Amino acid sequence: MAGEYEVYESKMMKTLDSLSFQYSSVRAGRANSAVLDTIRVDYYGTPTPINQMATVASPDPRTLTIQPWDKSTLKSIEKAIMTSELGINPQNDGRIIRLVFPMLTEERRKELQKTVRKYSEDAKVAIRNIRRDAMEFFKAQKKKSEITEDDLKDIEKDLQELTDEYAKEIEKMSAKKEKELAEI
């Protein structure tokens, strides 16, 4: 029983990791190579992350440079960036791609904050779905008489506490990211 409970807690933890990854892709006025992590480039038929096919550097706080190891991939990297939700037009000089991050306008800042809230809400929904799946599993065990009614009540209480704990953590992460967006 304890092993099954830990499986659901592990799933909730993975939801937080996923949320953290999503937040890293939300650009905030300054250059950060993590914004490229979600972009995939078609490289000989395989969706490939940019950092696995090029050197990504930040020569100054508002610029990223992408220097592909295979020059023939310049156009496909440029296209992938343009079709992404990054909102920056790449500058391709034939051997290197530059991304210049403009200062965030108030309108863009509000858009990004909405995106952060959406990611947070999606993560909360995922946490609640994990709780629901766990409850269904433990109710099925109760029905098979593998656990008692008291065990089920204890598990239900523990799962709700765990769900609340992860929801609070999501709120903290969201508030931190929104504050970061407001500062820049």
Cβ partners under 8 Å of residue 137, min gap 6:
4
Judged against a pLDDT cut of 90, whether residue 172 lies above it is answered with yes
Average pLDDT over residues 166-176: 93
Domain boundary at 50, 66, 100, which?
A: 100
Residues 148 and 162 in one domain: yes
Contact 116, 181 (CB under 8 A): yes
What is the mean pLDDT of the segment spanning 63-78? 88
Domain CATH code at residue 172:
1.10.132.20
Instruction: Answer yes or no: are the C-beta atoms of 35 and 25 closer than 8 Å.
Output: yes
Of 103, 96, 93, the closest CA to residue 62 belongs to 103
Number of domains in the chain: 2
Domain ends where: 100, 126, 156?
A: 100
Averaged pLDDT of the chain: 86
Q: Which residues contact 54 (CB under 8 A, 6 or more apart)?
A: 66, 67, 68, 69, 73, 77
Residues 110 and 179 in one domain: yes
Residue 133 has pLDDT above 70, yes or no: yes
